[in-house]
């Protein structure tokens, strides 16, 4: 059977288009001859990942990113659609971690699987996480160091200015003048007749006096010891015991008075004695009154002799 030229051109065109489509998908990391199922995951930000980025598990490519959708009014804002080859089944509870595969920041998704008997199905949602890349890690570690370095630089600058002020010509001259004045004052004080010289002389004289009078001081100390021994021999302990006995007897007397027993207690607490005092005071008052009213009955004065009654 003879094929016409038109048919040959059509077949060649179809084959060319098919090869072109397969080649474009192959360059994008897709294999159109492998059947896949779809999973969804969500991130707060994409981190620069693009469609066709590989999906890896244990370092092996098991799928690719089909598409990314930015949801403006929802959280998380980035929806990522994954196509996973059907020959790879993922455990329920697995995590899709957004990672950097090299130092240049090329992004991919790494599946962290769990030992779960239940498997994920088509159009299920897998939890998403973002692994800090090398640049982010360096930034998080370097920023505190840079801030401390900035504070250190400011402190060094302040110290430099202060040192400059201290060692400036005027300050240095003033310091040298103060040192010179202090040295002159010390020389004056230490010179003959100076205050420090007199103090040292007085101290030396006092030391000499102590040295000369050490025998008298030793004798004074011995005399004090002798006085202490004499007091001990004088019966201080006996005197103390006597005073204690007197205090005990006085305490016994007070107890007797408070208890209402004995003659002394009756003297203080007896009603009879009180009433007798009241009667005596009343009689004395009557006597004084009568003496004032009738003094002639008690005192008689006569110029011519004693009258007879």
pLDDT tens-digit readout, 112-134: 988 888 999 999 999 999 988 77
124: β partners? 39
Please choose, from the candidates 106, 122, 113, the residue with its C-alpha nearest in 3D space to the C-alpha of residue 29: 106
Q: Which strand (E) or helix (H) includes residue 200?
A: helix 195-212
pLDDT at 174 > cutoff 70: yes
Distance, CA of 91 to CA of 119 (rounded, Å):
4
pLDDT band at 70 (very low <50, low <70, confident <90, very high): very high
Give the pTM.
Answer: 0.41
Contact 141, 128 (CB under 8 A): no
Contact 70, 77 (CB under 8 A): yes
Contact 121, 90 (CB under 8 A): no
41: β partners? 80
Longest dimension (CA), the chain: 212
Which segment of 116-125, 160-169, 170-179, 284-293 scores lowest on mean pLDDT?
Answer: 160-169
Q: Is 21 helix (H, G, I), strand (E, B) or coil?
A: helix
The mean pLDDT value for 30-43 works out to 82
């Amino acid at each position: 059977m003879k094929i016409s030229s038109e048919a040959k051109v059509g077949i060649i065109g179809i084959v060319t288009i098919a090869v072109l489509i397969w080649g474009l998908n192959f360059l994008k990391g897709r294999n159109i001859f492998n059947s896949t199922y779809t999973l969804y995951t969500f991130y707060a930000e994409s981190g620069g990942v693009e469609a066709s980025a590989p999906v890896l598990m244990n370092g092996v490519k098991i799928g690719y990113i089909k598409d990314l959708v930015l949801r403006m009014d929802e959280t998380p804002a980035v929806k990522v659609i994954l196509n996973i080859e059907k020959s790879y089944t993922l455990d329920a509870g697995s995590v899709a971690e957004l990672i950097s595969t090299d130092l240049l920041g090329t992004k991919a998704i790494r599946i962290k699987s769990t030992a779960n008997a239940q498997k994920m199905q088509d159009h299920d949602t897998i939890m998403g996480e973002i692994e800090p890349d090398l640049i982010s890690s360096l930034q998080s570690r370097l920023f505190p160091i840079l801030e401390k370095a900035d504070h250190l630089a400011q402190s060094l600058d302040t110290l430099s200015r202060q040192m400059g002020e201290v060692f400036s010509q005027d300050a240095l001259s003033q310091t040298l003048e103060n040192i010179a004045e202090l040295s002159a004052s010390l020389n004056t004080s230490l010179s003959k007749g100076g205050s420090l010289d007199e103090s040292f002389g007085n101290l030396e004289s006092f030391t000499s006096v102590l040295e000369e009078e050490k025998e008298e001081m030793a004798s004074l100390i011995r005399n004090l010891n002798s006085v202490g021994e004499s007091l001990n021999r004088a019966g201080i302990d006996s005197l103390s015991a006597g005073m204690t006995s007197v205090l005990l007897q006085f305490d016994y007397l007070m107890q007797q008075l408070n208890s209402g027993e004995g003659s002394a207690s009756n003297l203080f607490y007896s009603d009879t004695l009180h009433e007798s005092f009241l009667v005596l005071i009343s009689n004395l008052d009557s006597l004084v009154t009568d003496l004032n009213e009738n003094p002639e009955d008690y005192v008689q004065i006569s110029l011519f002799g004693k009258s007879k009654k």
